[in-house]
Amino acid sequence: MANYYINAAVKKSKINKEIYGHFSEHLGRCIYEGIYVGENSDIPNVNGMRCDVVEALKEIRVPVLRWPGGCFADEYHWKDGIGPKESRKKMINTHWGGVVEDNSFGTHEYMELCRQLGCETYVNGNLGSGTVQEMSEWVEYMTFEGVSPMADLRAKNGHPEAWKVDFFGVGNENWGCGGNMTPEFYANEYRRYQTYVRQYHAGNGMEQGIDNPSYIRRIACGPNVADTEWTEGVMKTLFRHCEARMHGNADGLSLHYYTHPEGWEIKGSATDFDEKTWYKTLAKTLYMEELIRMHSAIMDQYDPKKKLGLIVDEWGTWYTVEPGTNPGFLYQQNTMRDALVACLNLNIFNKHSDRVKMAAIAQMVNVLQSVILTEGPQMVKTPTWHVFDLFKEHQDAQLVESRIETEMIGEEEEWMVPNLSESASVSADGKLQITLGNLSVTEDYPVSTQITGYAGRKVSARILTGAMRDKNTFEAPDTVASREFELTIGNGNLEFTIPACSVLHITVEE
């Protein structure tokens, strides 16, 4: 029996809804086909956006969407993507698949997508190959309301009102595809570029920082995986001579970490794997927690008040592409293994929400660990979609103290994992929200909760469970789907058995 302690009286950090964010890049069939089919498509759409996909994304309450890349961002010249579609420049997407990018999805279309989703905007600027002027003008084009060349151009292109840019990334992976820079060089460039990310709407009153929604929050490029030298170098340079601006001129620092079960070179199949690989994948996912701790420790030295968020804006599984598909499109299937990967990462982000202020799964549709797959007019919700659905009540909830007794399981010494993963919060409506994962392929575990600081009287739950390789296909779209899970409450506590290979969401009400 695993004892599970929850103390709802001990309130910890707020779980920013942005932790449940998504990433969409001009890569493969993510934007084109997956989301945007154009106004003239036979696939039902509103202003070019697929109705089925938008509906499914609204169901999981996508809070924020990062765009246009990724590596694509540092090659993207935003003026190519505005104005009449027929005269927009065509180019080759050299990073991803060598296909023609016709720029029919640009700034106006992205803003329209976010409007339909009802989500915040996170635009990633081009520092690698763009100019300061170009970045500055993009911000002016999107957010300036008065008389100016860029505001006039926006009006001429059909949108007189300014948009709200909630987050702005100043470059992407500038240690690699974004210019192969050193940390100090990047951070100096960052300081210069961000100066011209003008705050036309900045309110005052609230202290600046990642949690202040009244201005554009600037995200600096952070480390790849465990590159602490990058974190140290960037933080040091950002905070040098900036006493007047206490946050080192930035509001967030990104972190990218993907789960590659067999390493970067081999990666491994999305659907054809054994139990050893299952545990290895989950063990590698759990490394996320160590990464957050190590980079947070460096950030704490410069920013003890945690005004600067750690932004995990690329996470998820990265496998070998599906047989017969363009290797540059990064299209992969999604199984119960991905569901557990999502569950682990989201529970980790919740637990570290004092520092992790935003995250984005890579990527939203048809690329890497997608929540949705499409084929022509068909669409399926992946097991990962269902996990986002089960976790959505944590958005903007208050993390509370919790701990579960675990045992180590697995097949190989090197890749052992704890059998259970959890986090708990109290949402704005006063309900206690609990999410649990059972990492075992074979074993069910009885769990006994000891809840203090909360007089629970009513309980409901949903579960996602199946065999480890279960997936949803266009022929069988509901093989993996959540269903009601029966459990009762006695003296405010719960006793239940969590089945092998499952993700569970429990709501307790007073």
User: Of the ranges 51-59, 69-77, 301-309, 382-390, which one interacts with ligand AHR (CB under 6 A)?
Assistant: 69-77
Q: Does 70 bind ligand AHR (CB under 6 A)?
A: yes
275 classed as catalytic: no
Contacts of residue 262, defined as CB under 8 A and 6 or more positions apart, other chains included, come to 268, 277, 280
Q: How far apart are CA 393 and CA 426, in angstroms?
A: 9
Q: How far is the CB of 298 from ligand AHR (least distance, A)?
A: 21
Q: Is residue 409 within 8 Å of 501, Cβ to Cβ?
A: no
The active-site residue, picked from 75, 134, 137, 173, is 173
Angle at CA of residue 286, ends 281 and 292, nearest 5°: 140
The span from the CA of 103 to the CA of 75, in Å, is 13
Nearest approach in angstroms of CB 113 to ligand AHR is: 18
Tell which one of 116, 172, 231, 333 touches ligand AHR (CB under 6 A). 172
Give phi and psi for 103, each to the nearest 5. Answer: 60, 20
Q: Evaluate whether 343 touches 6 at the Cβ level (below 8 Å).
A: no
> What is the distance, to the nearest Å, from the Cα of residue 236 to the centroid of all Cα atoms in its chain?
26
Is 475 annotated in the active site?
no
Whether 24 contacts 415, CB under 8 Å: no
Minimal distance in Å, beta carbon 457 to ligand AHR?
A: 45
- Judged by CB under 6 A, does residue 71 bind ligand AHR? yes
- Of 362, 387, 434, 441, which one interacts with ligand AHR (CB under 6 A)? 362
Question: Site for ligand AHR (CB under 6 A): which residue of 69, 97, 128, 209?
Answer: 69
**Total site size for ligand AHR, rule CB under 6 A:** 10
Tokens (6 digits) for 451: 């809840």
Q: Give the binding range for ligand AHR (CB under 6 A) out of 64-72, 163-171, 229-237, 421-429.
A: 64-72
Residues 305-324 binding ligand AHR (CB under 6 A) are 314
The candidate with the shortest Cα–Cα distance to 144, out of 133, 156, 152, is: 152
Q: How far is the CB of 74 from ligand AHR (least distance, A)?
A: 9
Q: Which stretch binds ligand AHR (CB under 6 A): 67-75, 105-113, 334-342, 453-461?
A: 67-75
Q: Which CB, 329 or 485, lies closer to ligand AHR?
A: 329
Site string for ligand AHR, 6-45 (x = CB under 6 A): -------------------x--------------------
Task: Tell me how far apart the alpha carbons of residues 452 and 191 are, in angstroms, rounded to a whole number.
Answer: 47
Is-cis flag, bond preceding 363, omega within 30? yes
* 259 or 440: CB nearest ligand AHR: 259
Beta strand spans in 419-492 (E): 420-426, 432-438, 445-452, 458-465, 483-484, 489-490
Q: Are 87 and 63 in contact (CB under 8 A)?
A: no
- Residues taking part in catalysis: 173, 314
The site for ligand AHR (CB under 6 A) is made up of 25, 69-71, 172-173, 314, 362-363, 368
